[in-house]
Structure formats: structure tokens, C-alpha cells
């Protein structure tokens, strides 16, 4: 089967600790969740809320590489039993490179 993803992805359970993500919609509703997978183009997050595809959000998270917190605009691509898949809409080039290096090191 041909890979359809634009970017490779990696499971994000790096250590015993869970990687936390804050998801905030445009109305200011906020949920705390945890990552499932990560790519430089997006992230899958498990949280208690339900958002429809296309919903814009802000994701705030601290990757486990010790670097600064990332705050990025994203939108819901799809949701399933494992969580919501988000595509980054506005990720700085430095954060893109940072995430790409993290994924590459784990794939």
C-alpha cells in the first residue's frame, strides 16, 4: 500500500511521562489531552472534547526535547476512536525543523 502522508510520523510515547497538549477552540474552550502521533505537518491528540473536521484551534505543547513550548494554529482533519488528527496551519520554520528532527530520530 502506498503511503499517502506528506510527512513521516512517529508514535510519541518517548518516555514514561505523557506528553500533554492543550487544545483551545476559537470560543476559548480549552481541553487538556495527550499526543498519539506526531509529524512536522500535524499531531494526533486524545482528549475528552469532540470537534468537527475543519474546526480551527490553537495547540500548545512542550515537546520532550527540552526546547521551548510550541503554540501553533491548526485545524481538525479527522477524528476517530484514537483521537483528533490536527494539521498545523501556522507552524514556525524553526518549530517545523525541530519536529522533523524529533520524528526522524524515532522512525
Full set of structural domains in the chain with CATH? 10-106 (2.40.10.220)
Dihedral sign of CA atoms 67, 62, 74, 13 in order = positive
Distance in angstroms (rounded) separating the CA atoms of residues 86 and 78? 7
Q: Are 105 and 88 in contact (CB under 8 A)?
A: no
What's the distance, CA 83 to chain centroid? Answer: 11
Distance in angstroms (rounded) separating the CA atoms of residues 85 and 77? 5
Q: What is the pLDDT of residue 59?
A: 97
pTM of the model: 0.82
In tens, the pLDDT along 5-47 reads 566 555 554 444 458 999 999 999 999 999 888 889 999 999 9
Which is nearest to 43 in space by CA: 9, 4, 73? Answer: 9
In tens, the pLDDT along 41-71 reads 999 999 999 999 999 999 999 888 888 999 9
Amino acid at each position: 500500500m502506498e503511503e499517502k502522508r506528506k510527512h513521516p510520523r512517529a508514535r510519541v510515547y518517548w518516555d514514561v511521562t505523557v506528553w500533554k497538549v492543550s487544545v483551545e477552540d476559537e470560543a476559548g474552550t480549552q481541553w487538556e489531552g495527550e499526543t498519539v502521533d506526531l509529524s512536522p505537518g500535524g499531531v494526533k491528540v486524545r482528549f475528552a472534547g469532540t470537534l468537527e473536521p475543519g474546526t480551527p484551534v490553537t495547540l500548545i505543547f512542550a515537546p520532550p526535547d527540552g526546547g521551548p513550548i510550541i503554540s501553533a494554529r491548526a485545524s481538525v482533519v479527522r477524528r476517530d476512536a484514537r483521537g483528533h488528527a490536527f494539521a498545523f496551519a501556522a507552524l514556525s520554520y524553526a518549530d517545523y525543523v525541530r519536529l522533523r528532527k524529533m520524528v526522524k530520530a524515532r522512525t
